[in-house]
């Protein structure tokens, strides 16, 4: 646009000078100068108008250029902001990528921990089952340790084994010892009554006067009599009868009671031991 203005301006001045030259030539030819000056004045006025128009046009152009430059500056600002935003986006993208990677790692770690937990739970369940099995065994052992062996009968914290195979008093005594017990010792009326209720035949008990006639003692602890449950008129055998049994049929009685009998007489026996 400025180039165009410049060309028009040069063209106008050149035209004016040409006109002036013509006018000078004409004046020398015609020797009348007034019409030529008038023409020059008109041309100068016309030139001034054109110059004013060019000035106005130039001002407009200048304003337009300023606007364009302002827009360009704004564009630069926008570009700068866009670049900042792009950089920010890149950073955020990098952070997101890092977070995704970290999340993946944590996820794998969680799965690994979960697998370990599952294995531990399985192991604990196995151990729990083993412990339950062991507890059952312990309970069985406890029950066994606090109960009488098979074939023995429990009464008041003691175990009793009734044997009706006929043997002498000494063999009966040895058999009871081999079973970890002794020939029964009767300490109370309750025990005497319970034994009688269980009897199916005559049996040896631990009472005897082998060492001294008439001095009755228990073979289990060598203690004497505190109470007795003799059949009437027992004991009556003197030195011939030194071992005691529960007697009913032999004594021709209806209920069982104590009787002294020769120690080599073959009858059954009852052993006793603590729980
Ligand atoms: Ca005797
Ligand atoms: Ca007798």
Last residue of a domain, one of 60, 88, 116: 88
CATH number at residue 194: 3.10.100.10
Q: Please give the pLDDT value at position 191.
A: 98
User: Residue 31 is inside which H or E element, if any?
Assistant: none
CA 234 / ligand 2 centre spacing (Å):
5
CA-based torsion, 179, 184, 187, 191: positive or negative: positive
**Domain-embedded: residue 102:** no
Q: Which of 2, 1, 42 is nearest to 19 (CA)?
A: 42
Enter the DSSP assignment of 148: P
Residue 74 and residue 169 share a domain: no
Residue 36 has pLDDT above 80, yes or no: no
Q: Please give the pLDDT value at position 26.
A: 45
Residue 112 has pLDDT above 80, yes or no: yes
**Domain-embedded: residue 158:** yes
Q: How confident is the model at residue 27 (pLDDT cuts 50, 70, 90)?
A: very low
CA 240 / ligand 1 centre spacing (Å):
6
Residue 158 and residue 51 share a domain: no
Buried b / exposed e along 177-206 (16+ C-beta atoms within 10 A): eebebbbbbbeeeebbebbeeebeebbbbb
- Mean pLDDT in the chain? 87
How many domains, in total, are found in the chain?
Answer: 2
Residue 262 and residue 170 share a domain: yes
Buried b / exposed e along 95-127 (16+ C-beta atoms within 10 A): eeeeeeeeeeeeeeeeeeeeeeeeeeeeeeeee
Residue 219 has pLDDT above 80, yes or no: yes
Residue 172 and residue 246 share a domain: yes
Please give the share of the chain, as a percent, with pLDDT higher than 70.
88
Per-residue CA distances from 166 to 174, 194, 240, 250 (Å): 14, 22, 20, 14
Q: Please give the pLDDT value at position 176.
A: 98
Last residue of a domain, one of 38, 69, 88: 88
Cis peptide before 261 (omega within 30 of 0): no
| 163 SS3 class | strand
Identify residues whose C-beta is under 5 A from ligand 1, the ion. 209, 242
**Domain-embedded: residue 270:** yes
Last residue of a domain, one of 51, 73, 88: 88
Residue 136 has pLDDT above 60, yes or no: yes
**Domain-embedded: residue 117:** no
Residue 159 and residue 52 share a domain: no
CA 217 / ligand 2 centre spacing (Å):
16
CA 101 / ligand 2 centre spacing (Å):
103
Alpha helices in the chain, H assignment, sequence order:
2-30, 34-145, 169-178, 189-198
**Domain-embedded: residue 41:** yes
CA 166 / ligand 1 centre spacing (Å):
21
Ligand nearest to the CA of 230: 2
Residue 260 and residue 184 share a domain: yes
Highest-scoring range by mean pLDDT, 2-6, 22-26, 127-131, 204-208: 204-208
Per-residue CA distances from 227 to 28, 72, 186, 194 (Å): 191, 132, 9, 16
**Domain-embedded: residue 70:** yes
CA 116 / ligand 2 centre spacing (Å):
81
Residue 244 has pLDDT above 80, yes or no: yes
Q: Which domain holds residue 196?
A: 153-274
Query: What's the whole-number mean pLDDT along residues 86-91?
Result: 88
- Non-local CB neighbours of 176 within 8 Å, separated by 6+ positions: 161, 182, 183, 269, 271, 272
**Domain-embedded: residue 134:** no
Ligand nearest to the CA of 214: 1
CA 235 / ligand 2 centre spacing (Å):
5
How is residue 269 written in tokens? Answer: 């026996």
Q: Please give the pLDDT value at position 28.
A: 44
Q: Please give the pLDDT value at position 31.
A: 46
Lowest mean pLDDT among 13-17, 152-156, 207-211: 13-17
Q: How confident is the model at residue 9 (pLDDT cuts 50, 70, 90)?
A: low
Residue 166 and residue 64 share a domain: no
How is residue 13 written in tokens? Answer: 């001045």
**Domain-embedded: residue 142:** no
């Amino acid at each position: 646009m400025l180039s165009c203005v410049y060309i028009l301006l040069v063209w106008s001045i050149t035209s004016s000078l040409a006109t002036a030259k013509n006018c000078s030539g004409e004046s020398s030819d015609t020797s009348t100068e007034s019409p030529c000056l008038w023409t020059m004045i008109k041309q100068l006025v016309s030139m001034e108008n054109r110059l004013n128009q060019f000035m106005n046009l130039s001002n407009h152009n200048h304003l337009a250029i300023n606007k364009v430059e302002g827009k360009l500056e704004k564009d630069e600002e926008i570009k700068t902001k866009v670049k900042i935003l792009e950089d920010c986006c890149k950073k955020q993208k990098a952070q997101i990528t890092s977070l995704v990677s970290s999340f993946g790692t944590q996820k794998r770690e969680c799965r690994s921990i979960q697998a370990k937990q599952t294995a531990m739970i399985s192991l604990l369940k196995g151990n729990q089952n083993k412990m339950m099995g062991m507890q059952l065994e312990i309970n069985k052992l406890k029950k066994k340790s606090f109960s009488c062996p098979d074939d023995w009968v429990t009464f008041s914290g003691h175990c009793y084994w009734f044997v009706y195979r006929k043997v002498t008093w000494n063999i009966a005594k040895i058999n009871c010892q081999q079973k970890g017990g002794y020939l029964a010792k009767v300490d109370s009326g309750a025990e005497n009554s319970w034994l009688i209720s269980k009897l199916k035949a005559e049996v040896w008990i631990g009472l005897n006067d082998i060492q001294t006639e008439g001095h009755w003692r228990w073979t289990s602890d060598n203690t004497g009599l505190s109470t007795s449950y003799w059949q009437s008129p027992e004991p009556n055998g003197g030195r011939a009868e030194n071992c005691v049994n529960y007697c009913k049929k032999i004594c021709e009685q209806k209920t069982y009671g104590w009787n002294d009998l020769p120690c080599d007489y073959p009858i059954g026996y009852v052993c006793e031991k603590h729980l």
